[in-house]
Copies of this chain bind each other. A is one copy, B any other.
Amino acid sequence: MRPLTLAAIVVTTFLVLVSSSRAADPLPSWNAGASKSAILEFVKRTTTEGRSDFIPEKDRIAVFDNDGTLWCEQPAYFQLLFALDRIRELAPQHPEWKETEPFKSVLAEDLKEVAAQGEKGIAQIVAVTHAGMTTAEFNTIVRKWITTARHPKTKKLYMEMTYRPMLEVLAYLRENGYKTFIVSGGGVEFMRMFAEQTYGIPPEQVIGSSIKTKFELRENKPVLIRLPEINSIDDGPGKPENIELHIGHRPVMAFGNSDGDLQMLQWTTLAEGPRFGLIVHHTDAEREYAYDRSSQIGRLDKALNEAAQRGWIVVDMKKDWSQVFSDSPQ
């Protein structure tokens, strides 16, 4: 045997081993432990024909919260950071904002004062940043922001702050015939601008909060105008309500991280047949953020209390994940 051939065999064997070890571990960013085992075991027993827990492919529906479950949500929901950036961008055309709340505080970077403006302030921010334009115009604005803006702490692109372990779960479920949906408090059109690229989830499988739109023919060209009027808040009880409206199946797997996901977890898991609920618990102050019961954003209190009783998996981010961020978009 010539040395070159031997080398070729060694390399080939190595590649086969690597690829088969990859095939053997679809969740390489998950450390061995109860969380990882629970995911693997549930998928195996619901997708193996002949087992009593087998689920036909059309019923394999898995729903995922986005903020805090698929990507980071600190120091504030990224969509709020988008809105604040947008106000700064529009400010030169609105000199009056320097003297008017909530814009004055946004421009002064005084987030506490912005928060103090309450719901009325948020509604005004949403109205000028999310409404009064066509859906196509809004999509262009979001697309530009999401591909250029950077996170205040990590300086990463926001899309690089999706969680690699969760991207692995999404891919693993799809490989096993599960249909993956986002069901999030975030704006539906906002999330669609990156959901396909980052999560492999097409627009029709993204469910979120929404504002009303209005159809118009403008010089023979149809447009949808975004109105400053809430259509649906996809949070808390709104999640199962929207799951029924948009999907019309009861999911068998639900993934969340906060009390806003409580009713979605209940709706998914408190029913006949095999059911799976998982909560991402943010325990890693070093690599990400650590917060739960007293956090203003992504508060996890009631759902954490219920988890043990309901048999929901609580992921300890620090312990269970060998890597946190995806870094480069997938």
Contact = CB atoms under 8 A, between A and B. Distances in A.
A214 interface: yes
A10 B146 CA distance: 64
| This chain: copies in complex | 2
Contacts of A240: 215, 222, 224
Contact of A215 (B202, B249, B263): B263
A241 B214 contact: yes
A313 to B, nearest CB: 19
The SS class assigned to the A binding surface is: mixed
Given A215-B240, A237-B215, A266-B222, A245 B210 contact: yes
Nearest to A246: B246
Given A203-B248, A240-B215, A222 B58 contact: no
A189 interface: yes
Contacts of A215: 237, 240-241, 263, 267
A318 interface: no
Contacts of A202: 58, 249
A204 interface: yes
B245 A204 contact: no
Given A217-B266, A237-B215, A240-B224, A247 B58 contact: no
